[in-house]
Amino acid sequence: MRNLAVPFLSLTVLASLVGVEAASAAPSAQVASMRRLTQAEYRNSIADIFGKEIEVRGAFEPTIRIAGLQSTSTGVLSVTPVGFESFSSMADSIATQVTAEKYRAKLACKPKSDKAPDDACAGQVLNQYGRMLFRRPLSSDETKNAVKLSNSLAKSQNDFYAGLRYGLASLIQSPNFLFRMETAGPADNKQYALDPYSRATRLSYLMWNSTPDAELLQAAEKGDLNNAAGLGKQVDRLMASPRLDDGMRAFFNDMLELDTFDTVSKDSILYPKWSSGIAASAREETLRTTIDLALHSNGDMRDLMTTRKTFINRNLAADYQLPFAFKGEWMPYEFAADTGRSGVLTQASMLTMFSHPGRSSPTKRGVAVMDIFLCEPTPAPPANVDFSVVNDVNGALKTVRERLMAHATNSTCASCHNHSDPIGLSMEGFDTIGQRRTTENGKQIDLSASIQNKKFEGAEGLGKFLHDNPKYTACIARKVYAYSRGESSEDVAASAFKNANKAFADSGFRMRALLKAMVEDKDFFSAPPPETTKTATKLAAQ
């Protein structure tokens, strides 16, 4: 016995060593990115999987903005206990609705008895929905666990559908649904590349802001997304759908930082007109304008900085001091040439989000324009600065410009303010809720500005400056790229989206051209090789 045991033992050790070696040298698969679903992604996915009639009620954990994008934080944040509590009860509520009497006809099968477990039928339903929820087929263990749970609860409750409800709920609160897992395997040149289902996921959330549909999952299953023709066919299909609006709305909502509206308050005494209705309308106005230009009229994205065309409703007409004689909710509108309006820069959204509750802020506006449209973030100001002179409206300095200039003579401050202030000062023709004005404290407002020795006047001048600035269009390309992959826009190398940016320019800055070139680029689905075991251990120990 003894003699036998020794070689057996060493064999086991050897085998496990080989196993470890193999694992650290070339893991067959590596999760390249793991992104928590945003509220919109979650809602859209549930609607697509179970139908629009399913109600989703509950609180979602907030995201944070990293390098200009909320989407970047989805690759950094996890699920806190409070967030999970909410995910868990939403999962149960969704599963309850799906297994309720009136929904049952939609399910793939009927149990042998309503009052007892039926593993075959439960497995069929769980597999079907599981594949859509996880955006890939379930593993046999995953199916087994969900069926086991359904079985035991169906038994204890004497109710097949109760069991199914809990099995389904376990899938809807699984990390495989709540996180978009993109898995990569070894490809050519020591690079890794996303597996077909992960490709479908990345494409679908970018284009439709939702989970892959049946056809896209099928294309993944057949391996079509791994060749140019098959990929191109699916990309064209996704882009031809009106649902592209949803995807691009989500992107521009993020890029233009429109979520800022969630926490904007205005001074009700100084600006009694302001209301939450105007806030919601202003957000919608900017999205409508952007989507109309980018998708519906296939326009030149540079015009977003200059166009006077917009959409208004009754709320906005009040804010913009325009007559509103129209029956419907929204109508296209074009500002008159002498209004000084210029693209989204002078829409109520941008003007109000980047202001104080009771006054405009050239610095906030300037910093926002640099960050959002030029991808040039401004560092935090030094801690100990005397801003008093900026505030004293009763002193000799009447306008914001005069006060700001006085403060920016300080050389430390000047290095940043010289960048952002000219931009913000040229927008001073509009107050904190986006209304036009020509004077401040009784004095004419000076709207002249100059950046890099280029002189311009007012928001229109700023709009032209940005329109002609290649940094602006490159910034859109950079942010789409970062957004689609959940990366930090500041860490993305310009070479990564070079081809897409060129296609963007060649097309006369059409959004569709940018999107298509980006997702069809040979590197769009590539991933860095996994960390070696050494660095992984080191990181884990930190």
Partner 1 sequence: MKIDRRFLLRGTCQGALAVVGMPFLDCFLDSKGKALAATGRPLPTRFNTFFFGLGLTKQLWIPKTGGKQYEMTGQLKPLEPYRAKFNVFSGLRVPLDDNPNYQHWSGAAAAATGISPTKQSEFDSKTIDQQIADVISHGTRFKSVSASAAGDPKQSYSSLGGANALPAEASPLSLYTRLFGPGFQDPTKGDWKPDPQAMIQQSVLSAVAENRKDVMKNLGAADKARMDQYFTSVREAELQMIAQQQRPEIQAKVTIPDAPKEMVCNNALPNLRAVTPIMARLGALALATDQTRVFNLSVSEPGSQIFMPGDSLGYHQSTHEEPIDPVLGFQPRVAQYNVDTMELFAMLLKELDAVPEGDGTVLDHSLVYAFTDQSFAKIHAVDGLPIFVAGGASGRMKSGFHVAGDSSPVSRVGLTIQKAMGVSLDVWGKGSMEIRQPYTDLLA
Quick one: which of 71, 99, 173, 290 contacts partner 1 (CB under 8 A)? Answer: 173
Instruction: Fill in the per-residue mask, 113 to 142: x = in contact with partner 1 (CB under 8 A), - = not in contact.
Output: --------------------------x-xx
- Does 452 participate in binding partner 1 (rule CB under 8 A)? no
d(CA 181, CA 30): 10
Whole-angstrom CA distances from 484 to 175, 218, 489 are 20, 22, 11
For residue 97 the two structure tokens come to 């609705």
Residues 41-100 that bind partner 1 (CB under 8 A): 59, 61-62, 64, 73, 76-85, 88-89, 92
Instruction: Fill in the per-residue mask, 19 to 38: x = in contact with partner 1 (CB under 8 A), - = not in contact.
Output: --------x-xxx--x----
Quick one: which of 325, 383, 396, 493 contacts partner 1 (CB under 8 A)? Answer: 383
Task: Name the segment binding partner 1 (CB under 8 A); options: 151-159, 218-226, 471-479, 509-517.
Answer: 151-159
229 residue type, one letter: A
Smallest separation (angstroms) from partner 1 to the CB of 536: 5
- Does 190 participate in binding partner 1 (rule CB under 8 A)? no
Compare residues 267 and 303 and give the one whose CB is closer to partner 1: 267
For residue 266 the two structure tokens come to 């205005």
Smallest separation (angstroms) from partner 1 to the CB of 382: 9
- The string of DSSP codes covering 200-241 is HHHHHHHHHSS---HHHHHHHHHTGGGSHHHHHHHHHHHHHS
Compare residues 301 and 482 and give the one whose CB is closer to partner 1: 482
Quick one: which of 385, 437, 508, 523 contacts partner 1 (CB under 8 A)? Answer: 385
d(CA 481, CA 486): 8
- Does 197 participate in binding partner 1 (rule CB under 8 A)? no
Compare residues 309 and 364 and give the one whose CB is closer to partner 1: 364
Size of the site for partner 1 (CB under 8 A): 72
Cβ(489)–Cβ(257) below 8 Å:
no
Whole-angstrom CA distances from 115 to 118, 149, 389 are 9, 16, 77
Quick one: which of 297, 388, 439, 441 contacts partner 1 (CB under 8 A)? Answer: 388
d(CA 371, CA 466): 13
Phi, psi of 457 (to 5 degrees): -130, 125
Quick one: which of 358, 377, 470, 508 contacts partner 1 (CB under 8 A)? Answer: 358
Strands 30-36 and 179-186: antiparallel
- Does 357 participate in binding partner 1 (rule CB under 8 A)? yes
Element (H, E) at 460: helix 458-467
d(CA 30, CA 362): 47
CA proximity to 56, closest of 76, 81, 75, 37: 37
Residues 281-300 that bind partner 1 (CB under 8 A): none
Strands 331-334 and 30-36: unpaired
Smallest separation (angstroms) from partner 1 to the CB of 146: 7
Residues 520-539 that bind partner 1 (CB under 8 A): 530-531, 535-537, 539
Compare residues 10 and 80 and give the one whose CB is closer to partner 1: 80
- Does 409 participate in binding partner 1 (rule CB under 8 A)? no
Task: Determine the straight-line distance between the first and last CA of the chain, rounded to whole angstroms.
Answer: 46
- Does 408 participate in binding partner 1 (rule CB under 8 A)? no
d(CA 30, CA 186): 9
Phi, psi of 196 (to 5 degrees): -55, -40
Smallest separation (angstroms) from partner 1 to the CB of 73: 7
Smallest separation (angstroms) from partner 1 to the CB of 296: 34
Determine how many CB atoms are found less than 10 A away from the CB of residue 494: 11
- Does 153 participate in binding partner 1 (rule CB under 8 A)? yes
Smallest separation (angstroms) from partner 1 to the CB of 307: 31
- Does 391 participate in binding partner 1 (rule CB under 8 A)? yes
Smallest separation (angstroms) from partner 1 to the CB of 63: 9
How far is Cα of residue 11 from the mean position of the Cα atoms in its chain? 52
Compare residues 4 and 396 and give the one whose CB is closer to partner 1: 396
Task: Name the segment binding partner 1 (CB under 8 A); options: 114-122, 240-248, 264-272, 299-307.
Answer: 264-272
